[in-house]
Amino acid sequence: MAATPLLELNGIDKSFGPVQVLHDVGLSVYPGEVTALVGDNGAGKSTLVKCVSGIYTIDSGTITFDGNPVAIHSPRDASALGIEVVYQDLALCDNLDIVQNMFLGREKKRGIVLDEPTMEQMAGDTLASLSVRTVKSLRQLVASLSGGQRQTVAIAKAVLWNSRVVILDEPTAALGVAQTAQVLELVRRLADNGLGVVLISHNMNDVFAVSDRIAALYLGRMAAQVKATEVTHSQIVELITAGRSGNLGLPPEKPSDFNGDVVDITPGGDQ
């Protein structure tokens, strides 16, 4: 296992006006591992992802990438570092084909002309590296693809750019059983290829099926970040719903509730 995290967040605060959405959040993403980010609705998962991807700027805290502190002010900064996000609604254009979608916004050119053969070849190579062999043609319109295939294209689009960290927002939410299995297999393969993968999911089966670490957010705070093998299903559910489970998780809110147990509130507190 890699000892140093590829992406490390420390003490991230984010407010929208008077509402503080993230309190002192920390998160570590290791290369070659899937880190699941779980939490109830409104826990701040999406906000955290948008902070990392540069859509929101953080109020305070540090982001360390590959050991160096970095500032991410825009999606371009995040892309330049190699951080890619696959959004829940995929952000694909139905009226464009697979290759056109994968290169959208970053088209390869020869002079002023689009270099279609190069793009098609790169797209094909990327899909092949993910062991995707289910498309009829790379020139198929995305509109004609199934949900699982679209998810695959969206993920392939994210890894096309030699990205180091891929963040997947609920990749299986809208998929059937077989397609979910396909996508989870793909997620695992990304990590096996050495990428740092962050998987946001509500589905505990999915989380335990592929993740190495689980980070649970509770009301804008990082309740715990633990190894998947060291916790049970129900512990994670408690972390999501109550913010703590046994000696894991956030400290009790009132000092009088504090029963003297050793409380581990640091992110990556499994060490």
The verdict on 176 binding another protein (CB under 8 A) reads: no
Site for another protein (CB under 8 A): which residue of 4, 57, 94, 192? 94
Q: Does 165 bind another protein (CB under 8 A)?
A: no
Which of residues 53 and 180 has its CB atom nearest to another protein in the complex?
53
Neighbouring CB atoms inside 10 A of 156's CB total 21
- Judged by CB under 8 A, the residue of 71, 80, 128, 242 near another protein is 128
**Phi, psi (rounded to 5 degrees) for 231:** -125, 165
Residues 30-89 binding another protein (CB under 8 A) are: 75-76, 79, 87, 89
Kindly report the backbone phi and psi dihedral angles of residue 207, in degrees, each rounded to the nearest multiple of 5, phi listed first: -60, -50
φ, ψ at 5 (rounded to 5°)? -70, 145
Query: Element (H or E) spanning 101, and its range?
Result: helix 98-102
**How many positions of this chain bind another protein (CB under 8 A)?**
42
Residue closer to another protein by CB (options 126, 245) is: 126
d(CA 116, CA 107) in angstroms, rounded, equals 9
Judge contact between 137 and 165, C-beta under 8 A. Answer: no
Beta bridge partners, 227, equal 213
* Of the candidate residues 73, 106, 192, 230, the single one contacting another protein (CB under 8 A): 106
Residues of this chain that interact with another protein (CB under 8 A) are: 75-76, 79, 87, 89-96, 100, 104-107, 109, 112-114, 117, 120-121, 123-129, 132-133, 135-139, 141, 143-144, 146
